[in-house]
Structure 1
């Protein structure tokens, strides 16, 4: 399952490892169970402008219509981290945090400590509430998903105002993610302190909602999630997930019937979103692995001449049910998760994930609450020329690509369109390893000058030497 559609689910009191707790505003729910929230304010003024190539061609080049590439990456962290000792990565990222990040007094009620590594650009995304804007593509898609589940299950509850700062027990431990797992590294996750993180998936709330059974038997939870990641048109450190759970009385409904209900419901969701007929010619199920479900599956659809991943899902693991205070002999169920940006890019023809945060009226005024029904497609506007800069360096064993990406994002923000690995070389005699990256700078509202890009590029190089201990070539 792709990193934009990963994981599974949802509010109230967050328990700390020591047993203490903090109250988390859950929002009030109306008679349908939907969590009420304030309307979204202005979009984050990250960028404006657009793209010249057609949305369809751009999406195909990004692999967003294929089950390969970025969509087939495992639940674990980026490949560059998998073969590095976790302690080395944590130590290195800790030095970065101490050097370049100025933590606030507290972040959403949680006090930072020496492990804090949330850059200002990511902090600015908190509280933007894009899902609550009925005219934003993400808000439109979230409403469309709710419409389907309201029709399928009148008892389904909806939550979309949960606090994005969660404790590591809820985000990892209760979901069977072990302490040594790479996804828990500061190279992958934004830490507020050693016990609290910006949620990496909305599954961080899952056990909290599960524990409310039988008051809640099915629910959807959507919200903004945060991960350090590569830089290109389909990856961003802040994105949105929608996840769902349905529970059953285990004494009345068999495990096989749970799995059958899962497939029927989610095939119906895919058909609803993409206007398809269910069947072997249009949909297929693949075996997958997620630590919180067993068995785990992935649903793909045949859409515009290629197979495309839609969501990951499975039968909730017995350990997760126990962690929520439920007896697997008495209750079981299924869960799913999907990435809203990735699907919105396909449905509305949006070729660059940065556009979702744009305040530019040339983007926002193209969409309305009726856009899904009317099949609105994004109309590109002029694309400004890029400025290319290369970074070639000898790297230490502790080097992680995500640390480089985060540093470039910290200096360039949304002016950085993508970073490509051009060369990865190990010297046959010395064993020293070299990497060369190409950074594409492109503002979405104006033409960048070489002078202003050079200044930021030089700052990146200085920080690379000082903080990541590389040797420039």
Structure 2
């Protein structure tokens, strides 16, 4: 029997590694299965942004006017840094998991909390927002702050997008870890892809009141109640206080496990759409108070929609990068994506509880390039994150920081790109001072993309030269065409740069 291409469906091979191995051995020649775009790991299809659709994780999503995901971001999907052994994010996740496994066990000695760390980051807009009671006009839904595949599908902005489906499956206590995606500024503490871990625990009236004197006379709910700063309208005050106490005690034990027995903790009241009352936990670390997580009593409407309306629960969420940066003294969030052996080898330890202090790499002199441009009449459609995505798409992680240094009511603005060269910078004697002129008749974003590409290319050129260093300054300005046409002409000059 001849096994042809139709015998090897990509979807099945992708999700069934044992089947893939078996079929590769059966097929004459033992070569790879005839599936397209297999990744370097052999198990993940490479994402593709087509003209009309986006192919991601074995599925195709139609593009529309809301699509704003970039190839740079799409390439990050599927790495699962939190599951890569000896990665610092894996170490933090495993330390948290080990604490919950050892501290909270069921009646049969099994862990009370289940762990879910491999859920797809592609979710519906309804999952990401509506299931968490986030209003339709809430600012966090903005296209400028999220990565949309289309109007109905996106990359999750928080792991809470899976809360309802896990509660609906019958789980009362679980931990959830994964990568999340948000359009954000460019600096050492922000990155458009980061990792969260959250926990949820639900209580029946028996579980909550069984160890309370007179608990048989208490109730989870009350009729005709009203919402106050301390509770929701349907909850009894006694039940909420018990849930709140359990939540704070659980998290205090967690940070004591992570930071040591002498850690100082304080609670700050705050507001989240999916919990009430809500709190932020801060710990005192090296003399400063730092926020480490947010938490609260889950909104009862959320539990009702998940089929658990007869229970009360708490939820918390924390950033794995933030904890790792504090505990391991990692100064830049972009290092978590490094494959440099000098970084990775520092976290190969036999015991996940081993204290680690990151030893930084060699530093190089910083340099800055500036780009300025005016905005079109539809300036209200332009956000800072639009420009950040353009810079990131061209310069990648070579651009360490982008900051707004000037703006004007015309409207126009000027941004400064900063970085550190891996090699010596360009020689003014070699390149001289040359002008750059870019003309574009497309949309504003295409014009801005061209300008950003030119500026970032000049910026990147400094990473590939071996000449004595200088500190160039690039200014790109958008001016009206002298001929009187409405199409902008992008003009600029670069001292010590190459003529593109």
More divergent stretch after superposition (165-174 vs 179-188): 179-188
What is the CA deviation profile of residues 239-282 of structure 1, one whole-angstrom value per residue up to 9, with x for unaligned ones?
1000000110036522211110000000111111111336xxx1
Q: 1:247 aligns with which of 194, 197, 202?
A: 202
Q: 1:425 and 1:250, CA in 2 relative to 1: closer, same or farther beyond 3 A?
A: farther
Residues in 1 aligned to 2:350 and 2:300: alpha-carbon distance in whole angstroms: 41
Aligned to 1:276: 261
After superposition, the CA RMSD in angstroms is 3.2
What is the CA deviation profile of residues 156-203 of structure 1, one whole-angstrom value per residue up to 9, with x for unaligned ones?
100100011011111110101122222222211111122110111000
Q: Give the C-alpha shift of residue 371 in structure 1.
A: 6.5
Q: How many residues align?
A: 365
Contact 2:159 2:176 in 1 (8 A): yes
- Structure ranking higher on relative contact order (CA contacts 8 Å, 6+ apart): 1
Q: 1:209 and 1:369, CA in 2 relative to 1: closer, same or farther beyond 3 A?
A: farther
The answer to whether the aligner puts 1:467 opposite 2:452 as a matched pair is no
Aligned to 1:199: 156
Aligned to 1:106: 55
Q: 1:289 and 1:101, CA in 2 relative to 1: closer, same or farther beyond 3 A?
A: farther
Q: 1:340 aligns with which of 292, 299, 320?
A: 320
Contact 1:465 1:472 in 2 (8 A): no
Contact 1:393 1:472 in 2 (8 A): yes
Structure 2 unaligned spans of 5+: 1-13, 18-39, 43-48, 105-110, 209-238, 449-476, 480-500
Secondary structure of the residue that 1:190 maps to in structure 2?
coil
Structure 1 unaligned spans of 5+: 1-23, 28-39, 43-99, 427-431
Superposed counterparts of 1:213-224, under 5 Å: 213=170, 216-224=171-179
- TM-score, normalising length from structure 2? 0.67
Contact 2:55 2:61 in 1 (8 A): yes
Q: 1:321 aligns with which of 296, 303, 322?
A: 303
Residues in 2 aligned to 1:164 and 1:226: alpha-carbon distance in whole angstroms: 9
Q: Give the C-alpha shift of residue 238 in structure 1.
A: 0.7
Aligned to 1:141: 92
Q: 1:450 and 1:363, CA in 2 relative to 1: closer, same or farther beyond 3 A?
A: farther
Q: Give the C-alpha shift of residue 469 in structure 1.
A: 7.1
The answer to whether the aligner puts 1:357 opposite 2:337 as a matched pair is yes
Aligned to 2:285: 303
Q: Give the C-alpha shift of residue 463 in structure 1.
A: 10
Aligned to 1:257: 242
Q: Give the C-alpha shift of residue 341 in structure 1.
A: 0.6
Residues in 2 aligned to 1:463 and 1:411: alpha-carbon distance in whole angstroms: 20
What is the CA deviation profile of residues 187-233 of structure 1, one whole-angstrom value per residue up to 9, with x for unaligned ones?
111111221101110001000111123xx221000001111110001
Aligned to 2:9: none
Aligned to 1:86: none
Residues in 1 aligned to 2:142 and 2:397: alpha-carbon distance in whole angstroms: 24
Larger gyration radius, structure 1 or structure 2:
2
Q: Give the C-alpha shift of residue 148 in structure 1.
A: 0.9
Secondary structure of the residue that 1:277 maps to in structure 2?
coil
Residues in 2 aligned to 1:234 and 1:370: alpha-carbon distance in whole angstroms: 29
Aligned to 1:122: 73
Q: 1:322 and 1:468, CA in 2 relative to 1: closer, same or farther beyond 3 A?
A: farther
Q: 1:459 and 1:262, CA in 2 relative to 1: closer, same or farther beyond 3 A?
A: farther
Secondary structure of the residue that 2:304 maps to in structure 1?
helix
Aligned to 2:368: 388
- TM-score, normalising length from structure 1? 0.71
Residues in 2 aligned to 1:120 and 1:459: alpha-carbon distance in whole angstroms: 27
